[in-house]
């Protein structure tokens, strides 16, 4: 079972439809035990860092997700579902994230001629071989909506890079059984479909 985590903060239906289009039979779940039993987990997200972490804590999903990671089964985080994998964010410095990756979550600095939030299509440059990105051109277009970006301490986890103004940021990361993207595969048409198909075939 492919579990799409419902913690009250996500555009779940578009992720569910995209996974169906990729050949899965996903289930939107709000029961932490269903997350623990899943074959793979997708953590989508939208909204603020603090509100997402509050939703995870109140739903019991925070502990369930950590338990799931330890099984070695595939996990995919999307958008703020990537950012909350870090210890904290400039959006909510007082709020503790999941801490799966060490590093920072930064806000884009204002610059002439760029918009914040970073919204719309942009290029993802493949930075390293990754099961999620196999079969994509070296430069692929994906859809973004965000004002913050992750800055991992370990550059080895970065598998996708994107430029917005003068900032070149990690738009996809991978470590062991966990992959995550700042962009939205469910909104990225054929590129996103291939990424989700890769995720469904992946056996870490």
CB 176 within 8 A of CB 169: no
Beta-carbon contacts of residue 89 (< 8 Å; ≥ 6 apart): 49, 83, 95, 97, 104, 105, 148
> Can you tell me which residue has the tokens 């970065």?
158
User: Of the residues 51, 130, 146, 186, which is catalytic?
Assistant: 186
Q: Is 125 annotated as catalytic?
A: no
User: Of the residues 51, 52, 79, 130, which is catalytic?
Assistant: 79
Q: Is 184 annotated as catalytic?
A: yes
Q: Is 186 annotated as catalytic?
A: yes
Tokens representing 119?
């919204």
Q: Give which of 152, 171, 41 is closest to 103, Cα–Cα.
A: 152
Q: What is the CA radius of gyration of the chain?
A: 15
User: Of the residues 51, 146, 164, 184, which is catalytic?
Assistant: 184
Task: Tell me the C-alpha distance between 152 and 133, whole Å.
Answer: 19
- Bridge partner list, 40: 2
For 96, how many CA atoms within 13 A lie in the half-sphere containing its CB? 4
Q: Residues with catalytic annotation?
A: 79, 184, 186
């Amino acid at each position: 079972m492919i579990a799409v985590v419902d913690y009250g903060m996500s555009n779940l239906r578009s992720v569910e439809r995209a996974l169906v289009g990729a050949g899965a039979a996903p289930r939107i779940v709000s029961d932490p035990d269903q997350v623990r039993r899943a074959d793979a987990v997708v953590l989508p997200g939208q909204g603020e860092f603090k509100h997402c972490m509050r939703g995870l804590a109140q739903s019991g999903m925070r502990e369930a997700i950590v338990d799931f990671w330890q099984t070695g089964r595939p996990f995919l985080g999307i958008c703020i579902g990537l950012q909350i994998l870090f210890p904290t964010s400039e959006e909510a410095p007082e709020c503790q994230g999941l801490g799966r990756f060490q590093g920072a979550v930064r806000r884009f600095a204002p610059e002439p001629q760029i918009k914040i939030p970073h919204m719309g299509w942009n290029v993802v440059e493949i930075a390293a071989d990754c099961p999620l990105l196999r079969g994509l051109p070296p430069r692929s277009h994906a859809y973004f909506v965000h004002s913050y970006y992750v800055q991992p301490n370990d550059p080895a986890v970065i598998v996708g890079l994107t430029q917005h103004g003068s900032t070149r940021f990690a738009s996809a990361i991978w470590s062991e059984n966990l992959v995550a993207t700042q962009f939205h595969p469910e909104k990225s048409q054929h590129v996103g479909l291939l990424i989700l198909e890769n995720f469904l075939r992946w056996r870490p």
